[in-house]
Amino acid sequence: MLESLGFNLVEQHIYELLVSHGRLAFDEMLTLTEIAPEVQRKALDTLVTNGLLRQLTGNDHEFIVAPPEQAIEAIIAERMSALQTARARASEVAVKVRRAAQTSDPLQLVEVVSGEGSVRQLFIQALKSAREEIVTFDAPPYASDLAEAAVAQAAALAPGNLRIRAIYDESLLEDPIHVRRILEGLESGEECRVAPVPLKLAIIDREWAIIPLVYADEAGGEAAVIVRKSVLLDSLQALFDLLWEQATEVRPVEGDLEVTMSTDERELRELTRMLAIGMTDIAIAHSLGVSERTVRRRVSDLMREMRVDSRFRAGIRAAQRGWV
């Protein structure tokens, strides 16, 4: 128990000895252990200083165990305070390091990491260090077994203070193994959607990103690039945010995944399909059972949503999204 609080083996042994005997004098402890007197005395002083033991007055210099529920809670609170201070200090140092890198050498904003398992190790590090959010593009092929990363992801989500948003490539829905992986992510609290994914990517707390540089099935080993706070990182985040808005939500249904579209999205896709095949406003109105004025309004809304200025460009953008 004391090991996790930073106490050494001798201190743990002395504490457990007193727990089992209730009260012992220093000379009695010497007869019960083979620990050198000076080492034992140092361990006792540490335990007394930290409030785990109390020394009684008298000729025998007896020691007793302090109430654990008070002493140990006090130590835990102190350790947590120190860790929070260290975390805050680490954040301050990280800001200074990034500023120094930006002003001294822009090349330090991008770092290439290579070696077997480098991508997996970086992702696990991201899961352990993230404070608020991780967003990812997830697409095949994969460099190695994803089980370790899945376990780390579930552990990161368990406390409930980390948000993970993932956009999975549509092709993964055809593979039962990856469907199961997505289901497990949903069960652990991940938010996920599907879309044609342009690249593999993970962005951590909007502060740094990981991008694999080579495909898993290419020769030459694994390599990834780390992108720190910069215009490039902001662009990657903007790309994710844009695709997240366009991606389709998935949800678990009886051990499988169901792709769900809102009524508005289904109508937009149907309208786009009709425009792509050259149907007139009158024909579209008749097919949808609405007025011609409603069709014109919906076409205008569609062009605005796609950020285009013509029906032709809307058709191109729809094709890029896989709508037609």
pLDDT digits (tens, 9 = 90+) for 56-67: 766 557 888 887
Return the H-helix or E-strand segment holding 55. strand 53-55
Residue for token pair 């120094």: 100
- The answer to whether 107 and 135 are in contact (CB under 8 A) is no
112 and 255, same structural domain?
yes
161 and 23, same structural domain?
no
166 and 224, same structural domain?
yes
Last residue of a domain, which of 213, 236, 260?
260
| % pLDDT > 90, the chain | 8
135 and 254, same structural domain?
yes
Residue 33: pLDDT above 70?
A: yes
192 and 155, same structural domain?
yes
Quick one: DSSP state of residue 112? E
pLDDT for position 168: 92
Integer Cα distance of 88 and 82 in angstroms: 10
Is the four-CA dihedral 69, 70, 75, 79 of positive or negative sign?
A: positive
- The answer to whether 11 and 43 are in contact (CB under 8 A) is yes
Q: What does residue 15 show for φ and ψ, rounded to 5 degrees?
A: -65, -50
CA separation, residue 151 to residues 148, 205, 300 (Å):
5, 20, 46
148 and 18, same structural domain?
no
Average predicted confidence (pLDDT) for the chain: 77
254 and 126, same structural domain?
yes
Nearest residue to 208 via CA among 105, 120, 135: 135
- Please, which residues bridge with residue 112 across strands? 225
- The answer to whether 308 and 314 are in contact (CB under 8 A) is yes
Integer Cα distance of 199 and 176 in angstroms: 22
Q: What is the CATH number of the domain that holds 31?
A: 1.10.10.10
3-state secondary structure of 101: helix
pLDDT for position 217: 53
For the chain, how many structural domains are there in total?
A: 4
Residue 104: pLDDT above 70?
A: no
E strands, 190-275, where?
Answer: 191-195, 201-204, 208-212, 223-228, 248-253, 256-260
Last residue of a domain, which of 12, 46, 66?
66
32 and 11, same structural domain?
yes
pLDDT for position 135: 93
pLDDT for position 153: 63
Other Cβ atoms within 10 Å of 98 Cβ, number: 17
297 and 178, same structural domain?
no
Integer Cα distance of 196 and 242 in angstroms: 13
Q: What is the CATH number of the domain that holds 154?
A: 3.30.870.10
pLDDT in tens, 274-307: 877 777 888 888 877 778 888 888 888 777 777 7
Integer Cα distance of 114 and 119 in angstroms: 8
197 and 100, same structural domain?
no
Residue 203: pLDDT above 90?
A: yes
Residue 216: pLDDT above 60?
A: no
203 and 290, same structural domain?
no
Residue 75: pLDDT above 90?
A: no
* Residue ranges making up the domain that contains 223: 107-260
224 and 130, same structural domain?
yes
pLDDT for position 137: 93
Last residue of a domain, which of 104, 120, 152?
104
